């Protein structure tokens, strides 16, 4: 099998996503883990580009790297007072919990892998009449049209939901909020 440039870059970013995600999860130091999360999110945005979703990739960078990560750093800085000197030895219940977690995730991974490998996607009904996106298509333009026509209702519901979530978050984080 010959590897073109596209394949090499794709698998590089795929490996970057998986390895950095694994490091984020096993890292003991929360600051390192949050900054590695940054690497994972950027590599994921690169993978979205390979599915010809340039607008989604941009939204990923803006929303996650710009919003979510800053929020997480704030939450970390506001809640780390005793976290830095809490390198306490693992309790007895921890090992069992840890082992069960690994087992469940690995079994689930195995199930997902077998399903995906055994499925022949070209046989599916909707794949027969597919219309793939070309690299030259203007998907941002298409997304704008779809937002205002086919998916107008989800878009409006989402905007109301987002406002509810932001008001709720502001209320929860309010100073002097007892209980």
Partner 1 sequence: MIPLSHFMLISAGLFCIGLYAVLTRRNAIQVLIGIEFMINAAVLNFVAFGRYDKIAGGGQMFALFAIVLAAAGVAVALAIILNVYKYFKSIDPTKTETLKD
Touching partner 1, residues 89-108 (CB under 8 A) = 94, 97-98, 100-102, 104-106, 108
Q: Which of 8, 84, 156, 168 binds partner 1 (CB under 8 A)?
A: 168
Determine, following the binding rule CB under 8 A, whether residue 40 of this chain makes contact with partner 1: yes
Contact indicator for 83, 34 with CB cutoff of 8 Å? no
Over the window 54 to 83, marking each residue x when it contacts partner 1 by CB under 8 A and - when it does not, the resulting string is -xx--xx--xx--xx--xx-xxx-xx--xx
Contact indicator for 24, 37 with CB cutoff of 8 Å? yes
Q: Which of 12, 138, 154, 156 binds partner 1 (CB under 8 A)?
A: 154
Which position has the token pair 């506001």?
78
CB of 86 to partner 1, least distance (A): 8
CB of 21 to partner 1, least distance (A): 5
Strand ranges for 31-125 from DSSP E: none
Q: Which of 12, 32, 138, 146 binds partner 1 (CB under 8 A)?
A: 146
Judged by CB under 8 A, the number of residues near partner 1 is 84
Q: What angle do CA 63, 64, 66 make, to 5 degrees?
A: 65
Closer to partner 1 by CB, 2 or 98: give it.
Answer: 98
- Measured CA to CA, the distance from residue 53 to residue 153 in angstroms comes to 22
CB of 10 to partner 1, least distance (A): 5
Q: Look at the alpha carbons of 21, 60, 126, 3 in this order and tell me if their dihedral is positive or negative.
A: negative
Q: Which of 118, 114, 96 is nearest to 106 (CA)?
A: 114
């Amino acid at each position: 099998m010959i590897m073109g440039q596209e394949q090499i870059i794709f698998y590089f970013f795929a490996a970057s996503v998986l390895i950095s995600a694994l490091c984020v999860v096993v890292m003991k130091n929360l600051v390192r883990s949050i900054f590695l999360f940054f690497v994972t999110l950027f590599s994921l945005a690169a993978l979205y580009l390979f599915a010809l979703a340039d607008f989604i990739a941009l939204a990923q960078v803006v929303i996650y790297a710009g919003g979510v990560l800053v929020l997480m750093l704030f939450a970390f800085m506001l809640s780390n007072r005793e976290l830095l000197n809490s390198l306490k030895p693992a309790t007895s219940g921890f090992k069992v919990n840890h082992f069960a977690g690994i087992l469940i995730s690995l079994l689930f991974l195995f199930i997902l892998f077998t399903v995906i490998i055994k499925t022949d996607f070209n046989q599916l009904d909707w794949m027969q009449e597919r219309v793939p996106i070309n690299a030259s298509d203007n998907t941002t333009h298409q997304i704008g049209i779809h937002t205002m026509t086919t998916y107008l209702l989800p878009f409006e519901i989402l905007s109301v939901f987002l406002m509810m979530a932001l008001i709720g978050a502001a209320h929860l984080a309010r100073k002097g909020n007892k209980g």
